[in-house]
Structure formats: structure tokens, C-alpha cells
Amino acid sequence: MVNTINESYAHFDDVQLVNMTQNGDFDALSELWIRHVDFIKKVTLNQYYKIRPDFSEDFLNSEKLWSYRLGSSYINLAKAAETYDSNYSVPFLAYFAMKNKYAFKDEKSFNTEMSMRNSYCENYDSYEFRDQDDDMTEIVNSIEKCLSGNERLRAFFKKYVATFDELGYVSQTDMAKVMGISRQMINTNFKKIRFIAEENGLEKEFADFLSAQDEAQNYIQKPYSSECYS
């Protein structure tokens, strides 16, 4: 005897129920679920042990976790009903089983990627960034020191670095607006600073400083885009 939620649906086959579901009859979807719940449980159980549970499930007990998994299968049943075409050469149940399988596999891939990311973050040596920051601080201090004979350029350089750090890396155009000078003035000052740095044997340090600025500007933050100063 066929399991049914409503006797009036008992004479419909799976394809007819799918068509009814696609036309907005959600009772037909419930009928598909009740009719094939044993098969769906079997398919779900088969995948249940093959993937790492979602991180949100870590503290669920077995009963709640199983309910969650069945709920996922119900959603996959609905998605299969939405996309199934009666012209397909496979029965609807086989089509659903395939869709459910790959939905679980997609979740496994996602969870594996997230697990790798979390593991990387947990074991990441924060000193890597700290060392980079220390190196740049040393470079900035060295350049600033070599400008001690030119107070105007030294003041400009200090203000430029402080503004750049404070605003979270803005474009050169926006930097000029914030500092109240032209881009041409910034470029002119940096040419002079480069000349002085090279005279003091800091050619590589100055190149590293400019390189760090260029790299940082690839991550310009939207709150400091040009429209903020229009």
C-alpha cells in the first residue's frame, strides 16, 4: 500500500505530483515526501556519515542533527521537484537521489575549505605581519632621519605617512585632497625625497617604501573613495 498524506493524491504518479508541485501545489510536495520517506531516509543516512557536519551543528545532539539532515533532504527534494523535467530518461526518485548526493558533496567541499581556512588562521604566526610592520617602520624612520636637513620635506613626509596610515590607504588623488595640496606637489616632493634618500644610501629602502604604498593602494577602502570629498 502506498503511503499517502491525502487519499485524493493516491492515484497520482510521481511525475504528476512533480508537475503539480511546479504549479504551486505544495501539498503535492508533501505527498512525495510521505510516499517516499523511507527511501529518502535511506539516501540521507548513506550521505550522513560521508560528510563532516556543518560547523553550526557541532553542539547538536544526534537526534537534532538527524532532524537537520532530513530537513536538508526535504529542501533538496523541493529543488529536485522544481527542476525535474518529465522528458528526462531517469525516474524522479533517481533524479532526486542524484541531486541530494551532490548537494551533500557541495556541503562537504565547502566545509573542507572552511576547515582548512580555520586551521590556517588558528596556526598562523601573527609575527609574520608584525615583522613586516616593524621593517616598514624602520624604513620610514630611516628616510625621515635623512630628511633632517630639510624641515619642509621632513614635515611633508611625516604628514603623508600619518595620513596614509590613518585613512587606511587611499588613492593619490584623495591623498592630495586630504592634505590640501596638489598631486603634482606630492610627486615633486617625492622626487626630492628620492634624491636625498639615494644620497644617503637609502635607494633600496625608498623603493621598498613606494612598493608598499602601491601594494596597499590595491586595497583602497570604499569609505575613503573620491566621492567622500566631493
Half-sphere exposure of 36 (CA within 13 A, CB side): 21
pLDDT score of 100 more than 90: no
CA distance 157 to 222: 24
Topology of domain 7-123, CATH: Rna Polymerase Sigma Factor; Chain: A (1.10.1740)
pLDDT score of 1 more than 90: no
Domains in the chain: boundaries: 7-123, 127-229
Q: Confidence band (pLDDT; 50, 70, 90) for 66?
A: confident
pLDDT average, residue stretch 73-96: 88
- Predicted pLDDT at 48: 63
- Predicted pLDDT at 19: 92
pLDDT digits (tens, 9 = 90+) for 188-227: 998 999 999 989 898 888 888 877 766 555 433 333 333 3
pTM here? 0.45
pLDDT average, residue stretch 5-9: 75
Cβ atoms of 168 and 221 closer than 8 Å: yes
pLDDT digits (tens, 9 = 90+) for 12-35: 899 999 999 999 988 999 999 998
